[in-house]
Each structure stands twice: as C-alpha cells, then as structure tokens.
Amino acid sequence: MKKAIAITSLLAAVTLTSCNEKVTEVQESIKTTESAIVEKKEELTNKADAISDIVTSGATNISSGVTSEITNMAQEIESALIPGESITKEVSYASPAGTDSMKVTLVTSGEVIKSVEIVPMPTHEFSKKHQENFAKAIGAEVIGKKKSELNLSAVAGASLTTDAFMKFVQAN
C-alpha cells in the first residue's frame, strides 16, 4: 500500500512538472508575440509619420515610386487596424514514421499574420521533437508578414512540418 501511495505521489509530481513546463512555454510564446506586436506598432507609427510628412510638405509632383511606397504603407497601417480573424484547424501530414498531426491557430488582419500557435500532436515519437521545435520557432518567422509573401522551407529543421504549415496558410 505504501508503494502504491509513493508511486501515485511520484506520478503527480511528474505531471505537475510537465504542466509547469507547458505553462512556461506558453508564457514565452506570449512574450515573443507581444514583442513582435510592439515592434510592428512602432514601425507602423513611423510609416504613418512619414506619410503625414509627405502630405503636409505640399509636394505636388510625387514620383510613382513614392506613390507606390505610400500605398504600401497605407495598406500596412490598414491591415494593422482591421480586427484579427482567427482560424484553428488540425493539420495532418505524412512523415517517415507515418501520418502526424498538429493543431494550428492563425490570427490574421487582412493579409498580415498577427499571431500563430502550434499545438504538437505527434502520433510518432520521431516527429515529437520536430513539432516542438517548429512550434517554438514559427512565430518569429511569420508574425508581421503577409501570408502571400511567406516562403518557408524548414523552420527549426522541420521541413515536413513546415510544408504542412505552408499548405495550411495557402488554403486559408
């Protein structure tokens, strides 16, 4: 009976440690996302100031290159102001070990990716580390970028996971 209690206590401690590690992982992901948002806000504020300077300077002969840049800046500002659209789906793909899956949540504003969350759901131990590394690294690769401009091949060395993510983004 004492052994059963000891084993139960050990299992509870291991489970608690695992939960604490996941909470820490999620908190780090939130900090990364918040930093990216702050950086993007500063960038957009600077671009809005540049547009204001051009408009208030009274320039009447604006070249097509400047006009194009102003249009791009305006689109970025607009996409930052459009409320985010969120989509979550389970994405399955073939790996050397068989079929694996991950849960992908993507938040966009227009074409711009605002946040991404990957929940690894490997069915094979082979894929576990690849999915976990991908989940940690993907935000830095895509947040603040336009979906149509993504060109990823092997984020954190996970080429098959990256391919599945890219297909998800293209389809949504």
* Per-residue pLDDT tens digits for 145-163: 999 999 999 999 999 999 9
Predicted local distance difference test score (pLDDT) of residue 98: 87
Between 128 and 47, residue with greater pLDDT: 128
Task: Give the whole-angstrom CA distance, residue 141 versus residue 82.
Answer: 22
Residues 68 and 21 in one domain: yes
The answer to whether residues 131 and 104 touch, using CB atoms and an 8 Å cutoff, is no
* Both tokens assigned to 130: 């690849």
Residues 63 and 137 in one domain: no
Q: Indicate yes or no: pTM above 0.75.
A: no
Residues 51 and 104 in one domain: no
pLDDT confidence band for 11 (50 / 70 / 90): low
- Which string of b and e fits 105-114 if b means at least 16 CB within 10 Å? ebbbbbebbb
Query: How many distinct structural domains can be found in the chain?
Result: 2
Predicted local distance difference test score (pLDDT) of residue 57: 62
Residue where a domain terminates, one of 81, 113, 141 = 81
133: containing domain: 85-171
35-86 tens-digit pLDDT: 666 677 677 667 766 676 666 665 555 555 666 677 667 666 655 555 668 9
Task: Give the whole-angstrom CA distance, residue 102 versus residue 104.
Answer: 6
pLDDT confidence band for 140 (50 / 70 / 90): very high
Residues 63 and 92 in one domain: no
Let me know how long the chain is: 172
Residues 67 and 96 in one domain: no
Residues 42 and 97 in one domain: no
143 CB-contact burial (10 Å; exposed 0-12 / middle 13-18 / buried 19+)? buried
CB-based contacts of 14: which residues, under 8 Å, 6+ apart?
A: none
Residue where a domain terminates, one of 64, 81, 98 = 81
Residues 121 and 62 in one domain: no
Residues 100 and 63 in one domain: no
Inform me whether the pLDDT recorded for 118 exceeds 90.
Answer: yes
Residues 66 and 7 in one domain: yes
Residue where a domain terminates, one of 81, 112, 145 = 81
Mean per-residue pLDDT for 112-135? 91
Task: Give the whole-angstrom CA distance, residue 78 versus residue 52.
Answer: 15
Residues 64 and 106 in one domain: no
Residues 32 and 95 in one domain: no
DSSP secondary structure code for residue 58 in this structure: T
Residues 69 and 92 in one domain: no
Predicted local distance difference test score (pLDDT) of residue 166: 95
